[in-house]
Amino acid sequence: MTATAPDLGSREFSFTDQDFRALAQLARAEFGLSLAESKKPLVYSRLARRLRARHISSFQDYMTLLGGQEEADERLELISALTTNVTSFFREKHHFDTLRRELMPQLAKQPRIRLWSAGCSSGQEPFSIAMTLLDALPETSRRNVRILATDIDPAIVRRARAARYPKEESETIPAELRRAWTKPCPEEDDQVEMSQTARQMISFAELNLIEPWPFHGPFDAIFCRNVAIYFDHDIQKTLWSRFAGMLRDGGFLFIGHSERVSGPALQSLTTAGVTTYRKTSASGPAVAT
Ligand SMILES: C[S@@+](CC[C@H](N)C(=O)[O-])C[C@H]1O[C@@H](n2cnc3c(N)ncnc32)[C@H](O)[C@@H]1O
C-alpha cells in the first residue's frame, strides 16, 4: 500500500487500536492479509472512503456491517481498498525471457500446456504469457493450451475479461507482439483490444488464493507475482507448498521482485533464476487445502 498517512489528530472517524485489531483479524482470516500495527494510518485513509460511501459514522459500525452475511461485496471492497491492482504488460520481463528460453523447448513437445496467472489483476500478466507463447511456439492456437487467470476481485476480473487497455499501457509490449496480437479498439481510439486468438487462450475466474482451489493441475508454470507480499508468513509458506503441489516436475514458479519462497516448499522448489523456482522430481505431495 502506498498512500500518505492522514493526520490522526484530525480524524473524521474514531479508529481505536481495538478497531484496528478486529479489522486486521478479519483481513487475515478472510484474505490472508497481514496488517502490521504500523499500517494503521494507511488503513484508516484507505477505508475512510468506504465508511463515507456506506454512510457509516464509526469503524465499529463498519466492522458490524462487514460481519453481515449479505455483505460479501463489502468484504471484497475491503480487500480492494487494502491491496493494489498495479500491474503492466511484461512486468519483470526476465520471467517472460525464462518462459521463452527455458520452458518453451519442453512445451513444444507436449500435447497439453497449462499455465496459471494467480492474482492476475486486470489481465496484463496472462496476456503477456499468451503473447510469449504465440510468438515462440509454432501453431500455439491449434494446440491444447490453457492459461488460467484468477483474482479475488470480481471487478478486476471483469476488466481483465474485457481485454481493452489504454494505448499508452500497451507500449510496454514489444513492438512486434503488439502489432501481431493487439488491434485498435473500434469504439475508443485511445484504447487497444487484445486479439481474439490471445483471448481464447485464457480462462478468467474469481478465486481467493487462501481458499480451496477447484482444480488439480498439474501446471507447467505458475505466475504468482506481487500477491503473496500482502500475506502473513505462515500463509505465504502454505501457499508456496500448495503451488509446489500444483506444478509438474520441472515446472516453474515465478514470484514478485520482493518475495521469496520459504518453508517446506523449499524441499521441492529450487532456485532457477531471480525470483524464479523450478520443481524438482523429489518432491512430496500437495498440502491439503
Ligand atoms: C499488485 S497486483 C499483482 C498483479 C500481477 N500479478 C503483477 O504482478 O503484475 C495484486 C493482485 O492480487 C490480488 N489479490 C490480493 N489478495 C488476493 C487473494 N487472497 N486471492 C487472490 N488474489 C488476491 C489483488 O486483487 C490484485 O489484483
pLDDT digits (tens, 9 = 90+) for 123-140: 999 999 999 999 999 888
Model confidence at 69: pLDDT above 90 = no
Select which of 11, 28, 46, 100 is catalytic. 46
Beta bridge partners of 276: 254
* 139 dihedral zone (left: phi>0; alpha: psi -120 to 50; beta): left
Average of pLDDT values for 134-154?
Answer: 92
- How are beta strands 247-255 and 276-279 bridged, if at all? antiparallel
Q: Which of 91, 121, 259 to mutate to test the pocket of ligand 1 (most atoms within 8 A of CB)?
A: 121
Say what percent of the chain tops pLDDT 90. Answer: 81
Asked whether residue 37 is marked as a ligand-binding residue, the answer is no
Contacting residues for 264 by C-beta, under 8 A, at least 6 apart: 237, 241, 284, 287
197 lines ligand 1 (CB under 6 A): no
Cα 207–208–213 angle (5° rounding)? Answer: 65
Average of pLDDT values for 242-246?
Answer: 98
Rounded CA gap, 45 and 11, in Å? 9
- pLDDT score for 282: 57
Residue 92: exposure state from Cβ atoms within 10 A (0-12, 13-18, ≥19): buried
User: What spatial distance separates the first Cα and last Cα of the chain, rounded to whole Å?
Assistant: 28
219 lines ligand 1 (CB under 6 A): no
Model confidence at 285: pLDDT above 60 = no
254 lines ligand 1 (CB under 6 A): no
Domain boundaries, the chain: 8-82, 94-279
pLDDT digits (tens, 9 = 90+) for 10-43: 688 989 999 999 999 999 999 999 998 998 999 9
Integer angstrom CA distances of residue 255 from 229, 236, 247, 275 = 10, 11, 14, 5
Average of pLDDT values for 83-89?
Answer: 94
Cite the DSSP H helix spans in 201-270.
Answer: 233-246
Which set of grid coordinates corresponds to residue 133? 507463447
- pLDDT score for 8: 53
Model confidence at 209, pLDDT cuts 50, 70, 90, reads very high
- pLDDT score for 9: 52
Select which of 19, 151, 153, 220 is catalytic. 151
Cite the DSSP H helix spans in 10-153.
Answer: 17-31, 40-53, 59-66, 72-82, 94-98, 104-107, 124-136
* CATH number, domain 8-82, options 3.40.50.2300, 1.10.287.3510, 1.20.120.450, 1.10.155.10: 1.10.155.10
Atom of ligand 1 nearest to the CA of 256: 8
Rounded CA gap, 274 and 4, in Å? 31
- pLDDT score for 74: 93
Output the CATH code of domain 94-279. Answer: 3.40.50.150
